[in-house]
Structure 1
């Protein structure tokens, strides 16, 4: 058998590194390998460990390697890389062999001639510094099932955004997903409030998420830690490795309040080698940003990473009142420190502390009179299109939010087959909300009041503990665990008017906002919630059908307890208590089959629930029960044309029972009641995700979601009338299409271009009697000249020019009618951001 030129070259060069390969196998070296395909991981290991590693390409094909970082011997590092792969390694003279156990044994018998006989390399690849061919797609590693595995091997509908893709698309905070950047997912600032996010997935919406006695419908996780409140989610995202968006109920492994799905953000870990980057940028609306990330050298087994971010931008709707804040201004800053300690090869502790401050301002609510509405005063006018200046100047302050959290993740490899993990976390939030658009709530009258301020203050702290046991045996993989969560929260709200018209409506004066008023606050409540769970999931691969069939079953037992009280009403101290308790089992099962190494299909059924609670906007603190979601899903994961095209699709049918529905009091829009809808809502749809390497350096990405919902009929408790139900923030059609190109220019510099387009059809943001938003399409782009060598020791410089919503498309993020007896009969709306653009400079070192 003849050797390829490449194999001949590497076999000949083996003699040149023999003096290094032998000692390095047993000596500690610094290793930093991210999760990736096993073949490329072995390539990196050979370079970082200064070793010659031989393996057969067909043996490592389709296998993935976990992250391996820290100071260790090549022997120990290979043990961790090959864990759960079914492969083994051994050293023979100056060469390290990686193969199946039987072939390793066979070669051990012939060891004396192993390194000397070059023909043995004819069926073995030599690990070297060479990535996969540039026209093939990189493998994506996810942890959706609590273990590192390939996206294509995970039978769940998942969208994954890597750190570079998030940056290229300008997604620096969860609120940036308001445009529909990921089909099936919609993230909206609740009624324009910058740090309280309303997150919808696959038609499952939380209702009013600002209440502390109510839970989210989509679970949000940061490095495995559940973030219990919708408040505080507007902060900038730190240095993320990736974001995984798990679509559909995740009741078994993620638990309560993941009825719509889960968003899992995974941060980059300390590397233990000195490196970092600094980014600075400017843009329109006086946008300014500085971001920095620093990895410190490993010392005594400890590796430290520091992250910092500061972003500020003027509001894009001007407030005519001097010295008052403009609407939709951004002011975010924060820092994070991560410390990785690896006292042994099989034991690690990762501690993280993050702290952030968000002083952004609320969006501006525009108004248009409904047919038959009374006339506006002289200084008011209809605002049918997105405006740049408010109708009148009114007091407006930043909605100040402060968030901080501690987490400790521990991983202990008991053996090659068993691992124990622990995730311990404590977090707290202080979030104020201040909105005032200077609008009408009631019809204009001479000397009447307007400019209703909505002020709220939320304090919350939470503790969580999760323990997992992961096993991987010949035909069985499993994860079992326990989870505990407890939170204490309080909220209060105050809604004074800030202005009064003169006698003919041609002018106005400002009113004092007195937080010492006898009627402060209008309402207040507190809540204590505890949740305990036991869970398990196992995947069995029968020894039939070439081991292509996989059967997965899971079960989660959850016990929820809540108690709280409505404590204030129009300044008076009251005590209206409520309690909620629930004990339940949520099962799931999956059958998936690998038709080939590149085509996998699956059928999945899963169930999840959202805990009940009480509505603090209710005058009686009326409780409501939990809701339940069950979904059938069929899907396919495919890689085609020699791994140049990745096409994944899923179709689902969801039954939504006891849906928690908000009803607005027609006489007082701030008064809500939440009831469980008596019937079942049906949601069905399809999702497609596409990545195609069209040519070396040219990649096409795309996603599409079709969602069709039939909401149950609801009975309004205020009118006792049946009304048509509506599924909120769920367009029937949503899509995204992106194109990325990279080319070499100058002396080893790179020029990259990213363009993406987003489309959404119309959707409801209130009940079925409320207006829909319009459909829209928007365009974003970013170009970067990077890898420019600097003179000071190998640092590299990059310049970027970016633009978002380049066509200046307009649509309503939120729309709501203030209509009814005694009300102004207006349609109000918060609009999307106009065109933004800027430049950035980044230094990597």
Structure 2
């Protein structure tokens, strides 16, 4: 089906932006077309004006997606919304790390681990972060709800929620065909078709295609390079209106995302000057969380064919390795029924089933990751994994009003089954003198010969919630709400380091393994007092809570469990339209206190003793355990969004986010030391600015449109346990369009666009890993550390400059 869809389109999948960025989405409220326009949101489960909704929200529309040439959620990693952070896990874009306001889990792609930001598509919660980088078709808007959303949206929304709303069938014939080409062999195509209503049924069809060649070439013939993607998707939506007060929306979608990771380059060699001897003699050669007094071993010389490249993205990798595309496939059905029982009451039902299948083939490090060079030794950690997930959810809502009271009530049920397995064989073997290498045939014939881990999890969630807004006066509004949630999670670790725990129960018991069987209950209250200071200025004070469920780490031999974490937030905000609605200023300040923060400790451990069918299978397993930090993690922030229509056709926008975070030190019992931890991918300062100018061309309605945006992020940590920072970034994007050119008397219009992302080709390391430049993790001794596997820091550069031309016809 997907091979036949290449004539279809690349619907710009996801985009988020500051409130002002969506200002062109609605018609002006008055005849003054030079003023900023109203924006409708559904963050409170009913349609409200963004400027009068007492929640910090950013909204994006389809026009903003086009302006920034956003094709997937990963494209928002440049910081278009300063308080939203998007980054790949490791170097992989198939499992994105998504955070808001400092709630950013490092490794939420484990089956028994939850996200901290809830992602919703047409009101349906997505249980896994896998597949979210696939195409999402024709969107009405995306609402970025900042801060805990534990009352109306539920669990795992500590940092906020992304509420994605697709365009529904219109019942009128029309649509859009779009296509384009760009550098790196990229091309995209897009088809959106609305069919006329027939016997109360309306149908909308969407198709997408997005493709790009690798940005770093692989020297090994017949193997893919790095930074490649090939995305396809289809969606069908049907709206049935059997009566004037009943609307039933049914949709089916299927998407496939083939991709390869970014190449992990060696940025330096032994940067901390590690040598054997007293730890105190080389103070920079220190592994956090340890109490080493002595260092043993030798830092080995790099083979001559390994390149150290600290400043530039490799166009061609120094090491050729087996590399094929990872494949994410998502599909799902959604049925949304709305019944307007009376003018003051609407009953809703949202029923959904979704499935994700993810197959990971990640060989991004070459010789730059552990293990270090050994004559005739294996190298290049091939990270392989499979994940299968299916979920069913049912939600009932009652939305209405009684006198001065507006209310929302609901019941929620969620059922998820997810399993995974992983293997990490070395794909290459050094020659004796280190001047060349061969490829291990088993990575083609039997790559999963040795299983690092395999786990399976069953989760159920039940919730009842309610929220009411009482209008004390015409200008004063009090909102109170609460949600009671019961989460049940059952998980098993089937295999660890190629030992089948289901069969070898004695080994499992000796490793301290116990299945996960936990249940958690939470009541999450909220309260907001909103004041309409004037007709164009609205202030609010908000108290809110949220929580993220606990789980267990499948990367540990004992399936180490961890507890939920809870957030309490206090927020003050003001939203205002000034100077006859030509300037919009939205400000928010917040304090968040998080208890039992889930933090990650990661290390790579090598094991060359596994024997399968008489063949030694070296493994390099990522041991990542999750701990709950004691005390209170502090998160403090300020957000500002300013939009100004400074002249006819000219709109300027600036957004800023300041985020302070601090996690109390954690006592590590294995080493009897206190260790400092950090929140990843959360810059202290981040900002975005844009300018849009449009001018009429002739008298037929055509327009010339110019857009430019700049996005800044201060450097951040990429790992919980390392203070090492990645690079700060400043990225510019631009677009020039000739829009709405009439091409026929029947209303067809043509738009031609020149676009560029990262237009000045800024290069920066978005992920820097110091684990291979520090002594090894403790084994039998906690006072002696080995430096035998030290290489240097390795990291991943951002995407290069891309550019192209698109054309679209509306009909």
The residue that corresponds to 1:843 in the other structure is 809
Counterpart contact for 1:519–1:572, Cα < 8 Å: no
Within 5 A, what are the aligned runs for 1:96-115?
A: none
Instruction: Output the CA distance in 2 between the equivalents of 1:522 and 1:266.
Output: 39
After TM superposition, the structure 1 = structure 2 runs for residues 731-746 of structure 1, keeping only pairs within 5 Å, are 731-746=683-698
Matched ranges for 1:448-487 at <5 A: 448-487=377-416
Task: Provide the residue aligned with 1:107 in structure 2.
Answer: none
Residue 186 (1) aligns with residue 139 (2): no
1:334-413 alignment, distance < 5 Å: 334-367=233-266, 368-371=268-271, 372=273, 373-385=299-311, 386-413=313-340
1:111-122 equivalence runs, <5 A: none
d(CA) in 2 for partners of 1:624, 1:768: 17
Give the match's secondary structure for 1:270: coil
Once residues 408 and 656 of structure 1 are traced to their aligned partners in structure 2, the CA distance between those partners, rounded to angstroms, is 36
User: What SS does the aligned partner of 2:63 have?
Assistant: helix
Q: Which has the higher contact order (CA 8 A, sep 6+)?
A: 2
2:370–2:604 Cα contact (<8 Å) kept: no
| Preserved CA contact (<8 Å) 1:172 1:237 | no
- Partner residue of 1:730? 682
CA contact (8 A) 1:178 1:813 kept: no
Q: Which residue of 1 aligns with 2:767?
A: 814
Q: Deviations over 1:25-81 (max 9, x none)?
A: xxxxxxxxxxxxxxxxxxxxxxxxxxxxxxxxxxxxxxxxx99xxxxxxxxxxxxxx
Checking the alignment, whether the CA contact within 8 Å between 2:694 and 2:703 is kept in structure 1 is yes
Deviation per CA, 1:755-774, whole angstroms, max 9, x where unpaired?
Answer: 11101111111135342012
Q: Secondary structure at the match of 1:794?
A: coil
Compute the TM-score of the two structures, normalised by the length of structure 1.
0.83
Match of 1:57 in 2: none
SS of corresponding position for 1:297: strand
In structure 2, C-alpha distance between the alignment counterparts of 1:753 and 1:175, rounded to whole Å:
24
The reply to whether residue 834 of structure 1 matches residue 800 of structure 2 is yes
SS in structure 2 of the partner of residue 414 of structure 1: strand
Aligned residue for 1:778? Answer: 731
Task: Give the whole-Å Cα distance in 2 for the aligned partners of 1:596 and 1:622.
Answer: 54
Paired with 1:370 and 1:234, the residues of 2 have a C-alpha distance of 35
Question: Distance between the aligned counterparts of 1:557 and 1:130, measured in 2?
Answer: 39
- State yes or no: 1:683 paired with 2:635: yes
Q: Any conservation in 1 of the 2:339–2:346 contact (CA below 8 Å)?
A: yes
**Which one of 753, 763, 780 corresponds to residue 800 of structure 1?**
753
| Preserved contact between residue 350 and residue 410 of structure 1 (Cα < 8 Å) | yes
Correspondence list, 1:24-35, <5 A: none
Specify whether residues 515 and 569 from structure 1 end up closer, same or farther in structure 2 by C-alpha distance, changes over 3 A only.
farther
The separation in 2 between residues aligned to 1:235 and 1:598, in whole angstroms, is: 39
Instruction: Supply the distance in 2 between the matched residues of 1:727 and 1:233 (Cα, whole angstroms).
Output: 22
Distance 1:620 1:135, change over 3 A: same
- How far off its partner does 1:569 sit? 2.2
1:318 and 2:284 equivalent? no
For 1:347 and 1:640, how far apart are their aligned partners in 2?
A: 40
Residue 434 (structure 1) shift: 1.1
How far, CA to CA, are the matches of 2:563 and 2:137 in structure 1? 36
Show the counterpart of 2:142. Answer: 243
1:747 offset after TM fit, Å?
Answer: 3.9
Spell out, residue by residue over 1:192-225, the C-alpha distance to the aligned partner (whole angstroms, 9 max, x if none): 1121110111111122112011110100011100
Any conservation in 2 of the 1:134–1:696 contact (CA below 8 Å)?
no
Listed one character per residue, the Cα deviations across residues 1-27 of structure 1 (whole Å, up to 9, x for unaligned) are xxxxxxxxxxxxxxxxxxxxxxxxxxx
Judging changes above 3 Å, is the alpha-carbon distance between structure 1 residues 666 and 356 closer, same or farther for their aligned structure 2 residues? closer
Structure 1 residues 660 and 636: alpha-carbon distance in aligned structure 2, compared to 1, 3 A threshold: same
Q: Contact (CA 8 Å) 1:200, 1:206: kept in 2 or not?
A: yes
Residue 51 of structure 1 corresponds to which residue in structure 2?
A: none
Residue pair 1:365, 1:830 contacting (<8 A) in 2 also: yes
Q: Indicate yes or no: 2:110 matched with 1:211.
A: yes
Query: Separation in 1 of the partners of 2:623 and 2:432?
Result: 30
Is the Cα–Cα contact under 8 Å of residues 679 and 713 in structure 1 kept in the other structure? no
In 1: Cα distance, 2:347 partner to 2:318 partner: 59
Paired position in structure 1 for 2:572 = 634
Contact 1:599 1:638 in 2 (8 A): yes
Q: CA deviation at 1:131?
A: 7.0
- Aligned partner (choices 656, 659, 664) of residue 597 of structure 2: 659
Q: After superposition, what is the alpha-carbon deviation per residue over 1:292-342, rounded to whole angstroms, capped at 9, x for unaligned?
A: 100000000011100000011001011111110010101000010110111
Give the match for residue 434 of structure 1: 361
Q: Deviations over 1:77-102 (max 9, x none)?
A: xxxxxxxxxxxxxxxxxxxxxxxxxx
TM-score, normalised relative to structure 2? 0.86
Where do 5+ consecutive residues of structure 1 fail to align? 1-65, 68-127
The structure-2 alpha-carbon separation of the partners of 1:628 and 1:762, relative to structure 1 and needing over 3 Å to count, comes to same
Post-superposition Cα deviations, 1:596-640, rounded to whole Å, max 9, x if no partner, equal 111110000100000000001011101100000111000001011
Paired residue for 1:535? 465
For residues 548 and 693 of structure 1, do their structure 2 counterparts lie closer, same or farther at Cα, with a shift above 3 Å needed?
A: same
CA shift for structure 1 position 667: 4.5
Preserved contact between residue 756 and residue 802 of structure 2 (Cα < 8 Å) = yes
2:437 pairs with 1:508: yes
Q: How does 1:690-705 map to 2 (within 5 A)?
A: 690-705=642-657
Q: Alignment RMSD, CA only?
A: 1.7
CA shift, 1:716, in A, is: 3.7
Q: In terms of Rg, which structure is larger?
A: 1
State which of 466, 487, 493 in structure 2 corresponds to 1:560: 487
1:291-330 to 2 correspondences below 5 Å: 291-330=190-229
Who is 1:648 aligned against?
586
Give 5+ residue unaligned stretches, structure 2. Answer: 1-24, 274-298, 503-513, 607-620, 776-785
| Contact 2:106–2:720 under 8 Å retained in 1 | no
Specify whether residues 572 and 790 from structure 1 end up closer, same or farther in structure 2 by C-alpha distance, changes over 3 A only. same
Contact 2:397–2:411 at 8 Å: present in 1 too? yes
Displacement of 1:405 in angstroms is 0.6
Q: Return the offset for 1:475.
A: 0.9
1:628-653: CA deviations, max 9, x gaps? 01110000010111111111110001
| Aligned mate of 2:127, from 210, 228, 234 | 228
For 2:377 and 2:446, the matched residues in 1 are separated by: 23
Q: Check 1:591–1:362 CA distance in 2 against 1; reply closer, same or farther (3 A cut).
A: same
CA distance in 2, matches of 1:680, 1:387: 42
Matched-pair contact (CA < 8 Å) for 1:609–1:628: yes
Question: Contact conserved, 2:387 with 2:421, CA < 8 A, in 1?
Answer: yes
Partner SS, residue 90 of structure 2: helix
2:342 alignment partner, SS class = coil
2: CA distance, partners of 1:428 / 1:518 = 24
Matched, 1:578 2:516: yes
Structure (1 or 2) with the greater helix fraction: 1
In structure 1, the partner of 2:59 is 160
Aligned to 2:279: none
The Cα of 1:130 is off from its aligned counterpart by 10
Query: Aligned residues, how many?
Result: 717
Instruction: Tell me the residue number matched to 2:551.
Output: 613
Return the offset for 1:813: 2.1
What secondary structure is seen at the aligned counterpart in 2 of 1:456? strand
Q: 1:129 to 1:137 in 2, by over 3 A?
A: closer
Q: Determine which of 714, 724, 729 is the counterpart of 2:666.
A: 714
1:169 aligned onto 2:99: no
Shift of 1:236: 1.9
Whole-angstrom distance in 2 between the partners of 1:640 and 1:570: 63
1:720-747 Cα shifts (integer Å, max 9, x gaps): 4211121111001101101111111134
For the structure 1 residues 502 and 621, does the alpha-carbon distance in structure 2 shift closer, same or farther, using more than 3 Å as the test?
Answer: same
Question: Could you say if the C-alpha distance between residues 720 and 231 of structure 1 is closer, same or farther in structure 2, counting changes exceeding 3 Å?
Answer: farther
Aligned partners of 1:207 and 1:660 also within 8 Å: no
With 275-284 and 707-716 compared, the bigger mean Cα shift is at: 707-716
